[in-house]
Amino acid sequence: MKTSVLGIIEAIIFASKGVTLKKLKRILKIPEDEILGALKELEKRYSSKEHGIELREVDGRYRFYTKKDFGEFVEKAIGKSFSKLTQAQLEVVIIIIMNGPLTRAEIERRRGKDSSGIIRSLIQAGVLRKKRRGRQILYDFTRAFKESAMYEEILGMIGSDGNV
């Protein structure tokens, strides 16, 4: 494995908000298996305890993330934090993770109760955003929330069978 390929990929990932395998192939013009090998090597290198970041692939994008142990320090430094979610907020977040973007009515049907206040609080907290699909308003996660440690933690709570 060429060190220069590792360095190039590392620099691209560091400078971007995440990069897809397709984009790396287009930029580097080398075989996919060589890129995947370099990505595995970077994942391995950054998995050691001496590093405060790790390389992860989320939604098809490779990106460096702060390791959980260092999250509170980074949040203090940059002033960006997602506060703890209430039980009701967590219910809504899990419903959207499990089903994808949903309308307010679909969320309420799954919860069995009014959720307008919860949705509003999640929008204000930067967790959810509104997005239009035709005449409908769907609620989906903000990019910042999807890139957060909290999102990863919630994904980890959900079993492969869809149960929490």
Helix, strand, or coil (residue 132)? strand
Please enumerate in sequence order all residues whose Cβ is within 8 A of that of 71, keeping only pairs 6 or more positions apart, or say none.
149
* Choice between 3 and 31, residue whose per-residue pLDDT is larger: 31
Q: Could you tell me if 82 and 125 are in contact, meaning their C-beta atoms sit under 8 angstroms apart?
A: yes
CATH number of 87-157: 1.10.10.10
| CA–CA gap between residue 62 and residue 78 (Å, rounded) | 22
The domains of the chain are located at 3-73, 87-157
| pLDDT tens by residue, 48-86 | 989 988 898 877 889 888 887 877 777 677 655 555 788
pLDDT at 89: 92
- Burial of 62 (C-beta count, 10 Å sphere; 0-12/13-18/19+): buried
The domain 3-73 is placed in CATH, from the list 1.10.600.10, 1.20.1560.10, 1.10.10.10, 3.20.20.70, at: 1.10.10.10
pLDDT in tens, 97-119: 999 899 999 999 999 999 999 99
Supply the mean pLDDT for the chain: 86
User: In sequence order, what are the beta bridge partners of 2?
Assistant: none
Fold matches, 3-73 and 87-157: yes
d(CA 104, CA 22): 35
